[in-house]
Amino acid sequence: MYFEVFNDREGCAPAEVRMGDRTVLMFGSNDYLGLITHPKVKEAATQALQKYGSGCSGSRLLNGTLDLHVKLEADLAALVRKEAAIIFGTGFQANYAALSALAEKGDVMICDHNLHASLVEGALRSAARTVRFRHNDLEHLERCLESCPPEERILIVSEGVFSMEGDIADLPGTIRLAKPYGARIYVDEAHGLGVLGPTGAGAAEHLGVLDEVDIIMGTFSKSLASVGGFVASSAAVIDYLKHTARPFVFSASLPAASVAAVSAALEILKTEPERRQKLLGVAKRLRQELRARGFAVLEGETPIVPVVIQEEIDLCRLCKGLLEEGIYTNPVLRPAAAQNLLRISCTAAHTDQHVDRLLSTLEKVTRQLGIERDTR
């Protein structure tokens, strides 16, 4: 069956978007705080465009550094309580650049099995040996640590919130295991930043272990309403990356408008914690209501609400059927996740009425298509 993969849309509003000749309810966006169309974010980007022009035409190491880049790096480092930060053109670049540069021959990277492709590619590109432990399985992680020769330097790589399943890594357990081995810890907070933690710094802050994580990565394409990514750590690590990370050295820097949008979003993230609370409330209600209707929702507390749909063909038919009814969701097919998932993502812009419409439409479409709800 043909499934349209690229659904063009006009505009990126977090809750309702135009697709062709109709308005579609968006439950597939990672604009968790609903800031992409926020007036302050748009105004900051517009002013930066007027002041600095449309691009930087150079690498950060040469002519491409603006005062805006330097200020944003300082603000991001402060948010995640590290000494320094470095920003990249995308979140993918940030992971790829950092992992490929940080580990050397004779090191080992112990990676959660479900890591994002950018982390996998970075680990494979590095000169280090790589080992994968079963997803969020501390017993298996411990066995991997035990099997490392004592002379190997160890970097454990995890996501704070896993991008497809939406579950949170057991970072306190990981840190406890890492300590006797002197292993360093790298956490990708792409989906935790802005969403979790008392100040929105992510899963590590939420779990009370932010200061014990050596390297934090984040992206601007989700809660920070723009494009780009960053890595934060000790001043020595960041200085090393600024001179050795090839996507930083050999690629043009982010344009001023994108950077200014991130800074404005960061300010809102800090000053409007109620957005985070609203977002988590929307996700909690959706999970409860889906379960009450018999849908197999994976355990979790984040805005990523994954519903298990066993058969690939059913998942594709379901997404297509939902779209025909004016609701956009993302299908996640194996092997991108361990099970086929209808990945619903909530944003702070969703209302109770939006959630009600999603629920009633899901019930209607699954019934019409004869898709079983809880097949576990």
Ligand X SMILES: Cc1ncc(COP(=O)(O)O)c(C=O)c1O
Contact call for residues 306 and 376 (beta carbons, < 8 A): no
Q: Where are the beta strands (DSSP E) in the chain?
A: 16-19, 22-26, 84-88, 107-112, 129-133, 153-159, 184-188, 215-219, 229-233, 304-308, 327-328, 330-332, 341-345
| 142-161 binders of ligand X (CB under 6 A) | 159
User: What is the phi/psi pair of residue 130, to 5°?
Assistant: -120, 140
Give, as one character, the DSSP assignment of residue 190: T
User: Considering only CA atoms, which of 70, 37, 50 is closest in space to residue 263?
Assistant: 70
Stretch that binds ligand X, among 43-51, 139-147, 187-195, 316-324 (CB under 6 A): 187-195
CB nearer ligand X, residue 118 or residue 329 = 118
Binding mask 342-371 for ligand X (x = CB under 6 A): ------------------------------
**Closest alpha carbon to 82 in 66, 104, 98, 67:** 98
Give catalytic status of residue 116 as yes or no. Answer: yes
Q: State the number of binding residues for ligand X (CB under 6 A).
A: 14
Q: For residues 338 and 330, what is the distance between their CA atoms, to the nearest angstrom? A: 16
Near ligand X in 229-268, by CB under 6 A: 229
Closer to ligand X by CB, 72 or 355: give it: 72
Q: List C-alpha distances in Å: 125 to 100, 145, 151, 245.
A: 5, 21, 21, 12
Instruction: Please return the burial class of 301, using the count of CB atoms within 10 Å of its CB with bins 0-12, 13-18 and 19+.
Output: middle
Site string (203-232) toward ligand X, x via CB under 6 A: ----------------x-x-------x---
Provide the minimum distance between the beta carbon of 274 and ligand X in the complex, in angstroms, as a whole number.
25
CA distance 304 to 347: 9
Closest CB 20 distance from ligand X, rounded Å:
25
Catalytic residue among 100, 163, 221, 345: 163
Given 188, 189, 205, 314, the catalytic residue: 188
**Considering beta carbons, is residue 26 or 362 the nearer one to ligand X?**
26
Pick the catalytic residue: 69, 116, 206, 354? 116
Question: Cα-atom radius of gyration of the chain, to the nearest Å?
Answer: 21
Tell me which of 91, 166, 194, 202 binds ligand X, using CB under 6 A.
91
Active site residue 114: no
Residue 186 engages ligand X in binding (rule: CB under 6 A): no
Q: Any catalytic annotation for residue 163?
A: yes
Find the catalytic residue in 222, 278, 350, 354.
222
Residue by residue, DSSP assigns 274-293 as: HHHHHHHHHHHHHHHHHHHT
Least spacing, CB of residue 179 vs ligand X, in Å? 25
What's the token pair of residue 275?
């957005």
Position among 116, 206, 317, 354 found at the interface with ligand X (CB under 6 A): 116
Q: CB nearest ligand X: which residue? A: 91
Which amino acid is present at 94?
A: A
The interface region with ligand X, picked from 91-99, 206-214, 351-359, 361-369 by CB under 6 A, is: 91-99
* Span interacting with ligand X, options 104-112, 185-193, 299-307, 340-348, rule CB under 6 A: 185-193
Q: Which of 29, 118, 136, 174 binds ligand X (CB under 6 A)?
A: 118
Catalytic (active site) residue 30: yes
Instruction: Rule CB under 6 A: choose which of 163, 226, 258, 347 binds ligand X.
Output: 163
Least distance (Å) between residue 160 CB and ligand X: 9
Active site residue 222: yes
Structure tokens at 108: 């080992």
Q: Cα–chain-centroid distance for residue 66?
A: 26
Which of the residues 82, 191, 278, 350 is marked catalytic?
Answer: 191
Q: Which residue in this structure is represented by tokens 């989700």?
A: 222
Distances (CA, A) of 59 to 230, 254, 281: 15, 9, 42
Selected catalytic residue, list 159, 165, 167, 205: 159
The residue range among 84-92, 106-114, 127-135, 362-370 that interacts with ligand X, by the rule CB under 6 A, is 84-92
Q: Give 3-state DSSP helix, strand, coil % of the chain, rounded to 5.
A: 40, 20, 40
Where in the sequence numbering do the catalytic residues fall?
30, 116, 159, 163, 188, 191, 222
Q: Residues interacting with ligand X, by CB under 6 A?
A: 90-92, 95, 116, 118, 159, 163, 188, 190-191, 219, 221, 229
